[in-house]
Structure formats: structure tokens, C-alpha cells
Amino acid sequence: MRTLGASTLIAIALCAGACRGEVFDPESPVVASDPAAAVLPRLTALQYRNSLLDIFGSELPILPTPADTNPYLFYSIGATSTELSELGAQQYADAAAQLSDWLFAETSRWTATVGCQPETLEDPCVRAFLKDFGLRLFRRPLQPDEEAKWMSVMVETERGVPARGLRFAIYGMLQSPQFLYRSELGEPDPLDTDHYRYTSFEMAERLSFLLWNRAPDRDLLAAAARNELVEPAQVYEQAMRLLESDNAQAAVQDFFSQYLDLGGLDALERDPARYPASTPTLPSAMKTEIRLLVDDLVFRRDADIRELLSSRRTFVNKELAALYGVDAPLASEVAFVAVDLPEDRERAGFLTSAAFLSLNGHETDTSPTLRGKFIRERLLCELVPPPPPDVDTQVVPPSEEVHTLRERLEQHRANPTCASCHALIDPPGFLFEGFDSLGVARTEDNGYPIDHSGGLDGVPLANAQELADLLAADERVSACMVKQLYRHANGRLDQAREGRVLRELDARFAASGYRFKDLLLELALSDGFRKLAKPENAQ
């Protein structure tokens, strides 16, 4: 990427996607917000491993880490809202021990990491290594007292063997809260005395974990050392650089994987006797299809991300082609090819993909309730309350009076206690009854014709394709995507005070043609990402 000078950066547009020819307005350069207070996120399991891979290389062994949790969909929220358990602390200690054992098992390995084979700890390369290792591990320079502390650890544990002292220091630093947690507390903003801004080093890690899902690289840390990440133009230049890397593709895929719950496919089970198309490799193929769709829309074509819900273009291997009933002669068990779904079939976009339909179905039956709940909560950001604890949630089995699942659910909804929630989620869920629990198209349920009509908020719809088209143009869906990304980026739920930043981000998202990379850039430049509430005890 061509490096731009400061004067050029101030003149360019701070909109996304190669700036689209607009001119930067110094009076309103970013989306303004009343930002919320700081949170203290712990590294997610993937961020933890990525950080270590960047330092120690690809031969890094598999290490034990505390399991991620995803309240409100995202691991980043779990990382700020859950306390580290005693077991989790022990897992980090075990991981540090395993890593240091592996590192020092071979002289060539640890000397490559340290940069030398010192005869004493007074060798200048030892302190140089400590400073560099601390910078990369803690994502900021070591403070003088920290540098003294870890040098002391080396001296007290070496017993005449410098490698032993180095090993204990590395072992200790790998367990430090300064590595495991992201301490982003901000500093006074000279241009906005009502709020704090994140420091350059804090912005370096915020940008990198958002756009790469890994610790800052050397270029980003060097920019932070020059204090070049506090102004919007500076943030823009680095964000553009990060988005041009393959690492950005992996980070975007991770967001959509959590947003769309693709991780649930890892535990998908269907009885092949009941579902002949089911194979051990099919769940992986389902996940790959959605990943290829996201990659095509975001990076290959830089297209309207709403096509994810409505596009007839998808990617299939041999298994998925058979499941969808499409011709794909060049596809194989491992090779995926682009295909256009037939116009005369009710299948288009993610909502009629085998991934969505199987994720939101039961092992032996479909689930209009789960499918409708997904629409409400993940795509429209509505809260569907859980059923009261004293309510029987079991749906009556088939009988002479009720044959199909739809009829059984309608009888279940006759219970006034169940009616309010099911009236919200079942009508859109019924639209998917033309597909079984694996996503195969069908016309009968339990031997009886299927009625897959339904609706959304009083709008009658005939099938899932009509719903997909309706949602792709629904302003609530794009606003919800903005909100979900905002939550993911900040590791917390949005607050009422942040309504303005969400509305303006959504407006800029629309103005960009709903290009997801543009949304990422607008978010990175917004006050909602660059600033935080002033601490209560601050002067």
C-alpha cells in the first residue's frame, strides 16, 4: 500500500472503500458519540493463540486455554463479562509451562526467539530481548519497574545458567494480566474535555483485534510509539493497511461465524437412515459454503452485504450440489464451485442454506420456532424472552387431529401463556417448512401436504424466498448488523447513550451501498470506537 503524507491524509475522505471521491470535512470528520465506560476484556482463545503464533512461529504446540463463552452472541462480550475461574488460571499456568518447556527443549529454538545465546544475563542482547518481547506480548513498551521486575526474575532463577533465567521470565510473563487482558483505560482528550480518548498503543490493539483478531504487528506498534493513532486520519491509514491483509479476511470470517452461529455446525448430528443426504463431512461443507459467500461479498466483489440473505449465487461441493439439486460438474468432495440457484425453486441466500436450516432444526424434526427466533434475535436485534419456568414447552405429538408440525404448533399456541412469543416467532418460522431438518426441499410432513405460508409483522408471505427478499431490503436488518458489529468490536452491549453513533453508522453504511469493509472503517473512525467515558474520579 502506498504511504500517504499527513497533508494528503487530511485532504482525503474519511469515508470507506477508497473514499468514493468525497472530501474530508474537518468540521465533522467522524461519527460522534457519547461513549460508554471502559471494559477490561480478556483475550479470547483465538486471540491468545494468534498472539503467541506471531511471536513463536507456526510450530507452536496446542495449549490449554479457558473455554470462550458467547453471551449476546460474541466471544468478545464473554471475555469482558465473565471472571477467570480457578481452573482457567491453572490452564493459563499449564499453557505457560508447556510453551516454555517446548521453547527451551531445543537450543536453536530458544536462541532464535531470544536473538542470541548469552553467556551471562549482562549480555546486552538479554535486555534487548526483554524489551522487544515485552512490547510484543503486552502490546505496549514495558514500564521501567516492569523491566526491572522481569530482569530480577531472571537473575534470581538462573543459577548460573542464563537460559534458565530467561525461561522463568518468559514463563511468568505468559501468565501476566498485562498479556492476558487488554487494559484500555484511555487518557484525557485535549480536544474533548468531556471524554477520554484511547492512547495510541490502546488504539493499536483495538484496531488489530478488530480487523485482524490478533495482536498489533511491528508496523502498528511503531506507529503507536510515534503517537500516530490518536487522530482520525492516522487511524484511517492504518485501518486501510490492515484491511488489505489476509488477516482481515480471517477476522471478518470470525465475526460472521459468531453472528450466524456457524460454530453450531461442529456438533450437528442427523440420522442417515432418516436423512439420506447426511454424511460426516456435510456439516463442514455447509460451513465452507457460508464462508465462501462472505468472502465473495466482502473481499472479492466488495458488494452489498445484504446479498447474503437474498442472492441466488452460492458455492457448493459435490455433497451440497446433490442436496440442493443443482448441476455442478466441476465440483468434488473438496472442490467448491460457484453456482446460480434455479429461479423456479424457493432457495436463495443464507436463510435457505443447509447451514441455517440444519442449525435451526431438531435432530428428528424441523423447528419453525428456532428458525423464527433466529430471525428476530440475530437479524432484527429483538429480544425474545424465554418461556416462563412453569410452562410446558413440549409440542403435542402427531394424532388423528393434528398431523403436521405446523398444526401441532398452532395447537400449542392456543395456550395463552405461550401465545405471545409464538405469535412473534412462528409466522416467519413457518416459511421454512418447505425444507426438512437438514435443509433438503420437501412437500410433505408426516405424509401430509405442507403449508409453508407465514409472514413477518403482519406482512403475509408465501415462502422463505419472499422472506429473504423482504429482509434484505428491511432497514432493521442493516441497523441490526451495525449494532452486532459494534457490540463485537467493543466487547459489550451498546448503551442508550450510544444511539446516535449507531444511527449515524447505519446511515453511512447505507450511503456506502452496504459494503461491509466500509462499515468496518467507519466504525474504526467513530468516537464510539476511539473514545470512552471520562472516569468518575477524573478531574
pLDDT digits (tens, 9 = 90+) for 147-169: 999 999 999 999 999 999 999 99
**How confident is residue 397, by pLDDT bands cut at 50, 70 and 90?**
confident
- Count Cβ neighbours within 10 Å for each residue of 335-351 and write b for 16 or more, e otherwise: ebbebebeeeebbbbbb
* Vertex 74 angle, CA 69 and 80, to 5°: 65
> Rounded to an integer, what distance in angstroms lies between the CA atom of residue 110 and that of residue 21?
50
What is the predicted pLDDT for the residue at 144?
98
Is residue 120 pLDDT above 60, yes or no? yes
* Number of residues in the chain: 539
Write down the pTM of the prediction. 0.92
Residue 369's identity, in one-letter code, is T
* Vertex 443 angle, CA 438 and 444, to 5°: 85
Is residue 392 pLDDT above 80, yes or no? no
Residue 383's identity, in one-letter code, is L
Mean pLDDT over 71-97 rounds to 97
Segment 462-521, tens digit of pLDDT: 999 999 999 999 999 999 999 999 999 999 999 999 999 999 999 999 999 999 999 999
> Rounded to an integer, what distance in angstroms lies between the CA atom of residue 151 and that of residue 534?
35
Cell numbers of 215, please?
Answer: 495482536
Find the radius of gyration of the CA atoms of the chain: 26
Quote the mean pLDDT of the chain.
91
Phi, psi of 314 (to 5 degrees): -145, -175
What is the predicted pLDDT for the residue at 16?
34
> Rounded to an integer, what distance in angstroms lies between the CA atom of residue 323 and that of residue 439?
8
**How confident is residue 423, by pLDDT bands cut at 50, 70 and 90?**
confident
Cell numbers of 46, please?
Answer: 483465538
What is the predicted pLDDT for the residue at 400?
74
**How confident is residue 27, by pLDDT bands cut at 50, 70 and 90?**
very low
What is the predicted pLDDT for the residue at 263?
97
Position of cell 465462501? 292
Largest CA distance in the chain: 87
Cell numbers of 414, please?
Answer: 392456543
> Rounded to an integer, what distance in angstroms lies between the CA atom of residue 376 and that of residue 425?
7
Residue 469's identity, in one-letter code, is D
Is residue 103 pLDDT above 70, yes or no? yes
Residue 468's identity, in one-letter code, is A
Phi, psi of 470 (to 5 degrees): -65, -45
Tell which residue, 307, 305, 311, has the closest CA to residue 16: 305
Is residue 275 pLDDT above 60, yes or no? yes
> Rounded to an integer, what distance in angstroms lies between the CA atom of residue 532 and that of residue 433?
46
> Rounded to an integer, what distance in angstroms lies between the CA atom of residue 435 and that of residue 537?
57
Task: Return the beta strands (E) in 280-381 as ranges.
Answer: 313-316, 337-340
Tell which residue, 370, 473, 384, has the closest CA to residue 424: 384
Is residue 235 pLDDT above 50, yes or no? yes
Q: Are 320 and 335 in contact (CB under 8 A)?
A: no
Burial classification of residue 144, based on how many CB atoms lie within 10 Å of its CB (0-12 exposed, 13-18 middle, 19 or more buried): exposed
**How confident is residue 420, by pLDDT bands cut at 50, 70 and 90?**
confident
Between the CA of residue 380 and those of 53, 91, 536, what are the distances in Å?
37, 38, 34
